[in-house]
């Protein structure tokens, strides 16, 4: 099956990747729904919400600072690197991710569409202030704050991520849907496919006549529509695909 998928990818003119927390699991970042997904006694769904932030911003910031520290320790794994390679080879045109960990960019992917924001960005709860802390070199500053405040207006800052119950960034969602309509192949990697509207992506590809290739350690909500299901760890399957595509493209 890997051979067949490699041939399809080598011939494709507009492949995209759609990734979820599972692609970063081998980098040591727990998924939300996996058995390591708990923080203290809380489930992420209880903390990553606007209501939780309103109720107890200190607790929510504590959770996010913990996540930022964990993610800072993580490095892109062979799966992120393989997707960046596929982009360099001209096969993948974009990576649409539900992850907030920035690891696709760290791995060298250039066209990354973040549907759920980025944990290294903050935004003001009152004014239009936004900051990408990696660029401004202020991650250390953020981690030293109990309740970080906007440098412009003094209001509370919040993580620039999409919380449960919130709308996705319009520009990113429109771009992602339009890429999905045009894609002839989508590689669906490490997602349970239950978080909407992001999970529409593989359905849009399928309905537009594209091929759905799924890589996951276990079946997901997407599996019933997958044309190919490559069962295994993303960090093992994706490098094999790249190797095979290189071999047949020589
Ligand atoms: P999820 O936790 O619902 O599902 C993870 C999926 O990855 C599962 O289907 C699991 O079987 C699979 N998986 C686990 N390890 C794998 C591996 N090594 N190789 C291949 N597949 C593997 O994640 P989701 O679908 O992305 O939805 C959770 C939401 O939570 C996302 O929208 C995201 O915003 C957020 N989140 C992000 C991160 C991150 O940025 N790294 C981490 C946790 C949660």
pLDDT of the residue at 40:
73
pLDDT of residue 134: 94
What are the sequence ranges of the domains in the chain?
A: 42-72+118-159, 75-115+167-247
Predicted complex ipTM exceeds 0.90? yes
C-alpha count within 13 angstroms, C-beta hemisphere, residue 136: 13
118 is in an annotated binding site: no
Dihedral of the alpha carbons of 79, 218, 7, 89, in degrees to the nearest 10: -20
Res 236 pLDDT > 90 = yes
The backbone torsions φ and ψ at residue 107, rounded to the nearest 5 degrees and listed phi first, read: -80, -10
CB atoms closer than 10 angstroms to residue 192: 20
- Nearest atom in ligand 1 to the alpha carbon of residue 34 is 2
- CATH, range 75-115+167-247: 3.40.50.1220
**What is the CATH topology of the domain spanning 42-72+118-159?**
SIR2/SIRT2 'Small Domain' (3.30.1600)
Q: What's the gap in Å between 193 CA and the centre of ligand 1?
A: 9
pLDDT tens digits along 129-149: 999 999 999 999 999 999 999
Structure tokens at 92: 């993948």
Determine whether the annotation assigns residue 216 to a binding site. Answer: yes
Give the integer Cα–Cα distance in Å for 51 and 31.
22
Region 93-101: mean pLDDT is 98
> What backbone torsions phi and psi does residue 216 show, to the nearest 5 degrees?
-160, 155
198 vs 173: CA distance, rounded Å:
8
Same fold flag, 42-72+118-159 and 75-115+167-247: no
* 26 CA from centroid of ligand 1 (Å): 11
Report pLDDT for 39.
73
Find out whether the beta carbon of 80 lies less than 6 Å from any atom of ligand 1. no
Q: What is the pTM of this model?
A: 0.96
């Amino acid at each position: 099956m890997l051979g067949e998928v490699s041939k399809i990818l080598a011939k494709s003119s507009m492949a995209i990747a759609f990734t979820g927390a599972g692609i970063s699991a081998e980098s040591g970042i727990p998924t939300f729904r996996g058995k390591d997904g708990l923080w203290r006694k809380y489930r992420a769904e209880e903390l990553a919400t606007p209501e939780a932030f309103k109720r107890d911003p200190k607790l929510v910031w504590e959770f996010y600072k913990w996540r930022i520290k964990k993610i800072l320790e993580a490095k892109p794994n062979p799966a992120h690197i393989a997707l960046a390679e596929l982009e360099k080879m001209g096969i993948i045109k974009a990576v649409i991710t539900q992850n907030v960990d920035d690891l696709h960019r760290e791995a060298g992917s250039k066209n990354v569409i973040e549907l759920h924001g980025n944990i290294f960005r903050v935004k003001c709860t009152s004014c239009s202030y936004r900051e990408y802390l990696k660029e401004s070199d202020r991650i250390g500053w953020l981690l030293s704050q109990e309740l970080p405040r906007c440098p412009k207006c003094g209001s509370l800052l919040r993580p620039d991520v999409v919380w449960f119950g919130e709308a996705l960034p319009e520009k990113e969602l429109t771009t992602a849907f339009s890429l999905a309509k045009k894609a002839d192949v989508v590689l669906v990697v490490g997602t349970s496919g239950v978080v909407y509207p992001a999970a529409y992506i593989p359905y849009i590809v399928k309905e537009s006549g594209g091929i759905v290739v799924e890589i996951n350690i276990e079946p997901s909500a997407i599996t019933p529509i997958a044309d190919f299901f490559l069962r295994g760890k993303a960090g093992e399957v994706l490098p094999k695909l790249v190797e095979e595509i290189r071999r047949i493209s020589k």
